[in-house]
Structure 1
Amino acid sequence: MSQQTAPSHTAPSGLGELIRIAEAQPLSPACDHFYFLRHGQTGRNALRIFQAVDEPLSELGLQQAARAAGLLAGEPISTVVCSDARRAHDTAYTVATTLKLVPAAQAALRERNFGALIGTSSANIDWACEPEGGETLTQFVARTRGALDTALRLPAPVLVVAHGGTLYALAALLGVPVDVGLLGNAQPLRFERRGPTWAVTPLLRQADGDAALA
């Protein structure tokens, strides 16, 4: 078993700016619920380094993807849509195979392009930065909003498999506060509309739920 451990999660600098941008163009899906899954861990996740699209899952990431597949196996998912980045696509393929579905890969669901920062430390990430050769925050939110809007129009319920940045943008676009505890690799989340507002709930094994209550 891999000895890598998941990196700790803290709210990144510039998150307020992301929320401000998203609030100006909120997302209004017609569905009443859907699922979201961040990809499994990679070697560069563990080291807190900005990643390229071809970064593979680590041994632990493969295990996390398999665990997520088990958690999602009983959910009535009709469509799996994923980022075409290797780490997201491989996670989605593991889950979709269990669900007897084929994931649809979309380049528009990729993580934000951090340009010249790729390969450098992301430990002190500032989402409001404008990296050379990369996307501005406004560009990233607009791209992600369009991709999510398209994905959530597909036969429901939909599972979206993408990235941590995608999750931050999604939550902001729906007006949902994101607890950093929900950002773990391959943690399945259920988004559900309750009246006019959206809420997010993690899917847990019984043992996980018991531990959370202890």
Structure 2
Amino acid sequence: MSQNAPTHTPAGGLDRLVEIAATQPLAPACDHFYFLRHGQTGRNALRIFQSVDEPLSELGLQQAAHAAELLAGEPIRTIVCSDARRAFDTAHTVAATLRLTPTAQAELRERNFGALIGTSSANIDWACEPEGGETLTQFVARKRAALDAALKQPAPVLVVAHGGTLYALAALLGVPIDVTVLGNAQPLRFSRSGPTWAITPLLRHVDGASALA
């Protein structure tokens, strides 16, 4: 891996992420499932790469509670979440309303950005190779395995994870990503018609959609 911090471009490297995902797409047997990015954290607001123990902010806690209300009417049977604190706590807020117990998986964590953690993510380049972190190829492979396992659980499944997970998931399913679906704690329904997947937001936030978990 490079010893130097990469040169970032806004949301750079997503074309490369799509190329990597297309070499081994995800093909879940289910015809629909749900995805929820965690609520906002203090470092989300500041656009800083985060560690796994970053907690939800007060706004993030409110967003998680609102997401729980929106998902309460959905026929969710299983919740699988990242074990990073921000996703874990969001999942448990939703789970309390749905009367379910989430299963936490380390493999669903956000990409490990290594030496970049604690620095600005404002001009993130997903194709970077951060010192001590994951390459994009490693990240996509990990996410594919984790999502494949999650979506084999009793359906419908709710996956609670990160912005990077959402980018990878959309690419693995061949769904174009739109910044309007990237908001914190914005519930999404993924549904399949034949081989084609689509994303339907159950909520649109007006507080801005930071594209990084």
TM-score when scaled to structure 1?
0.90
How many equivalent pairs are there? 197
Which 4+ stretches in 1 moved above 4 angstroms?
none
Q: Spell out, residue by residue over 1:43-92, the C-alpha distance to the aligned partner (whole angstroms, 9 max, x if none).
A: 00000000000000000000000000000000000000000000000000
Conserved in 1, the CA contact under 8 Å of 2:77 and 2:154? yes
Q: State the match for 2:155 in structure 1.
A: 156
Give the AA of the match of 1:127.
Answer: W
Contact 1:33 1:191 in 2 (8 A): yes
Q: 1:11 to 1:169 in 2, by over 3 A?
A: farther
- 1:91–1:161: 8 Å Cα contact kept in structure 2? yes
Instruction: Give, as a single letter, the amino acid of the residue that structure 2 aligns with 1:15.
Output: L
Alignment match, 1:183: 182
The 5-angstrom pairing of residues 124-135 of structure 1 reads 124-135=123-134
Structure 2 counterpart of 1:75: 74
Q: CA deviation at 1:196?
A: 1.2
**Equivalent-residue separation in structure 2 for 1:117 and 1:108 (angstroms):** 20
Aligned to 2:210: none
1:62 and 2:68 aligned: no
Shift of 1:195: 1.3
Computed over aligned residues only, the root mean square deviation of the Cα atoms, in angstroms, reads: 1.3
Give the 3-state SS of the residue equivalent to 1:64 in structure 2.
Answer: helix
- Residues 49, 116 of structure 2: 8 Å contact kept: yes
Aligned counterparts, 1:1-214, within 5 A: 12-204=11-203
Distance 2:64 2:203 in 1: 14
Task: Write the distance in 2 (CA, Å) between the matches of 1:195 and 1:88.
Answer: 31
Could you tell me how far apart the structure 2 residues matched to 1:62 and 1:78 are? Answer: 23
* In 1, Cα distance between equivalents of 2:107 and 2:195: 27
Distance in 2 separating the partners of 1:204 and 1:88: 18
Q: Percent identity?
A: 83
TM-score by length of 2: 0.91
Distance 1:11 1:80 in 2: 32
Give the distance between the partners of 1:78 and 1:11, measured in 2 at CA.
Answer: 37
SS of the equivalent of 2:34 reads strand
Structure 2 residue ranges without an equivalent (≥5): 1-8, 206-213
Report the alpha carbon displacement of residue 11 of structure 1 after superposing the two structures with TM.
6.5
Residue 11 of structure 1 contacts residue 180 of structure 1 at CA under 8 Å; is this kept in 2?
A: no
Q: Distance in 1 between matches of 2:127 and 2:195?
A: 29
